[in-house]
A and B are shown apart, each in its own frame.
Chain A
Amino acid sequence: MNTIRIILWIILSYYIALQAIYLLLLLLGSLQIRRYNKGITFAEFRRIGESRLTMPVSLIIPCYNEALIICSTILNVLKLTYPQFEVIVVSDGSTDNTIETLIEKFQLRRIERFGRRFISTQPILGVYESAEYPNLVVVEKENGRRADAINAGVSMARYPLLCVIDADCVLESDALLHMARPFLLDSRVAAVAGVVRPSNGLNVVEGEIVAKGFPKTLLGMNQEVEYARSFQWARIGLSRLRSMLCISGALILVKKTLFEKVGGPWPDAITDDIEFTMRLNRHIHDRRNKEDARLVFAPNAICYTEIPEKIGQYASQRNRWQRGTLQAIWRNRGMIFNPRYGMTGLFGMPYFLLFEGLSAIVELSAWILMVICLVLGIATGFEIVAMLFLAYIMGVFLSLSAVLLTEASRLRSASWREFWRLILAIFLDNLGPHQFHLLCRVIGTFQFLLGRHDLGKPMERNGTQNTSTKPIPLTML
């Protein structure tokens, strides 16, 4: 009985610590966003767009069997507002007609081009350039993984900043300007992360966002809330604490020199973006390297990415993310509680281990323990319900805070109908979807421990960004 009570108190302490950190991140995040928005002046922003000293960017898009959506993505990035950039699309051994589609759409012609191989990759089969778009390069290579495709793209990159996005991404036209700004303001900036939001519900025509909307399904709406929480305050708060250990692979801008120094993403990683970000942190925060570099979050750089709206795909994605998180933590375990890495080692990594990596197991234990307590009569039904309600309302409070911050930004919901759907999703999140998410992560944890390291089934693209759920025209926003 005493053992159960001790475990109960451990879980309760864990929960209190987690919520306290969330509240701290919420506070830090909202203060940082306020500070960021007040610090931007229109003249400065205009200068970035026009200045010759804005650093040119090589934008890399790795893709595998993305024939359905890749043209839309390329058209979108070719229309970005930025003084100088090139787009490098890497087809990672696609078996659909990705290359043929690209050749036809962009009038590609095969050329001979050598890049500097800073890291070995699967063989490159061909390089193509577009007659119509001089800043578009397409690389065809043998299948590796996403990380291998990125590394091959980087070997062809000519500019000092590298921006990596996913093949299903849609960027706001000024996203690169917002991401390049920190590099101009502070030469110590090593990488910049941006905001990622679901693209399901966007209406994109010929690469341009013509209307915005939210996903149609409840599962999609839950992810909308989840992304808002993660990007609206959590990451910006973590970046303030030098603990942004996960930069989404959907949008990252990084100095090429540092990218090469770190060795690029690891091809065997389950989630290469998490593992790469951790290694990047490890390199720049290791006092022995004397890098004096920093990672920054740009809350106005916005990228939309397709999210799974089918249960099976969602489960597979979350399972992979969980295994990837654990793999990245294990690979960089030397940082945990290591004062050599400063705040990152003493706070960031332990936070990531305890509250990201192991949270699924702790939460599952809490559920099991609740049942045991009920059966053994340690707690009454009323007490259990009170506990559950506290967890529920805390989740609601944090999600509402994220929505409040979102509404104060340019990401505000397009209409009152969308707004109420978002609020409804918040109240429903902890009544099923969250528990399902937990289950996926628990399974992922056990599979990782049993040695599963594959990437799972690739997500089926619907090209949802080309349709919309009764979106409101942008002119009305």
Chain B
Amino acid sequence: MNLITIVLTTAVVLTVLSLILLVITIGLRMATDRRLRRDAEFRTKAKPILRSFLSGEASLEAAKAALSHDSHRAIQLLLEESDSLGEKGRMKLHPLLALMPVEKDMMNHITSRRWEKRLRSAEYLGYLGDDSALPALMTALRDDVLAVRFAAANSLARLGCQNAVEPILKALDVPGEVSQRRVVEVLQILGPGVSEQILTILNDSSGNPTSLAIAARMAGSLRIERSMQALCGLLRNENANIRINSIRSLASINDHSVTDQIAALGEDPSWEARSSVMLALGRLGATQQIPLLLQGLSDREWWVRYNAAEALYTLGETGIAALKEAVDHHVDAYGRDMSRQILQEHGDIQSTKEINS
């Protein structure tokens, strides 16, 4: 076969393929148009009835009738509504969700070979499922894909599974502060019922550093006062994340007796830790630490300076006076700038001229 024959054959094949592509594109466009139109029609009819049902104005039968003729769109609508409702409101949707053929499918999808299906299943079960979904979600916590494990953890928390704390911590033991904060967000959904488990983790300081960091953060978000001693101990931990979370939690618990221990970390090598110290001192109302906060105004990191100024402002009259003083007399230009910026942000001064006058 010579070159020109190959060229011509390829050109003909590509022409045919191009035509097929064009036909597929037109078909796709028509299908999308039709789908969007039907979506709009379905929502226009079903959404008001569903809302009426949730507010008690329409009967269950009326809501069922509005949703039953298109289960796929009905599921989407119910999921959206479920997402925007609280725990009690969500319960109202269960009789309608029970009508849908989705739950059984979702249980099967959790072991699908395709991670996208497993992800959706893990997520939807949190909205649709009841306790019968827990074993499937526990299985999903051992998934290879992190996103699936996160979705399963979130759903377990949403379903109020208190026993899931340890499996969740084990499943989501991944490095990075953002990931850890995501785990904290998940566990927060479970509420104060998990306090004992958090305390157990905190008291075992030789445990997994990631779990320890998360537990330290959780102790603050749940305001577990019994965790104070453990948290103070963790202020000396070599892991910066654990120190930072302990500082934040001690500030959240709001016990003024720990002020000095927190202030001792004012020159911590980690800027995030220094930044947290500044914020904590503000929250704890530590007026005796104003010199440290003024020193923080000239830190090399912007966030430390910002939080030091914010903390001074939070301290009230004494702190604000120190800030105003700093606008003109702080030894560092960055410190003067930050003081002015915070005072302006809070509307205490309009311009530099005003403070000078």
Contacts and interface: CB of A to CB of B under 8 A. Distances in A.
Interface string B237-272: 000000000000000000000000000000000000
Given A112-B337, A393-B14, A394-B14, A42 B83 contact: yes
B151 A390 contact: no
Interface stretch (B95-103, B171-179, B226-234): B171-179
Given A41-B119, A53-B182, A113-B341, A404 B24 contact: yes
Contacts of B36: 477
Given A404-B28, A412-B29, A386 B4 contact: yes
A111 B119 contact: no
B21 A397 contact: yes
B83 A46 contact: yes
Interface of B: 3-4, 7-8, 10-11, 14-15, 17-18, 21-22, 24-25, 28-29, 32, 36, 79-80, 83, 115-116, 119-120, 123, 126-127, 146-147, 151, 154, 175-179, 181-182, 185, 302-303, 306, 333-334, 337, 340-341, 344-345, 350-352
Contact of B178 (A53, A404, A412, A416): A53
Interface string A119-139: 000000000010000100000
Given A111-B351, A383-B4, A404 B25 contact: yes
Given A109-B351, A112-B352, A404-B21, A397 B119 contact: no
Contacts of A450: none
B87 to A, nearest CB: 15
A43 interface: yes
- Residue from the set A12, A112, A184 with the largest chain B CB neighbour count within 10 Å: A112
A134 B347 CA distance: 11
22 contacts: A39-B116, A43-B126, A44-B123, A44-B147, A46-B83, A51-B185, A112-B340, A116-B302, A116-B334, A129-B344, A158-B302, A158-B306, A185-B147, A187-B177, A382-B4, A383-B4, A383-B7, A390-B11, A393-B14, A407-B28, A408-B28, A416-B29
Q: How large is the interface on A (under 10, 10 to 19, 20 to 34, 35 or more residues)?
A: 35 or more
Contacts of A408: 28, 32
B104 to A, nearest CB: 20
A53 B119 contact: no
Given A183-B178, A393-B15, A407-B28, A111 B344 contact: yes
Most chain A Cβ neighbours within 10 Å, of B22, B25, B29: B25
A187 B178 contact: yes
Contacts of B179: 187
A42 B79 CA distance: 9
Contacts of A401: 21
Counting chain B CB atoms within 10 Å of each CB, the highest count among A109, A113, A390 belongs to A390
A35 B147 CA distance: 13
A397 B17 contact: yes
Given A39-B147, A111-B352, A183-B178, 10 more contacts: A38-B116, A38-B119, A41-B151, A44-B151, A109-B351, A114-B334, A114-B337, A187-B178, A383-B7, A407-B28
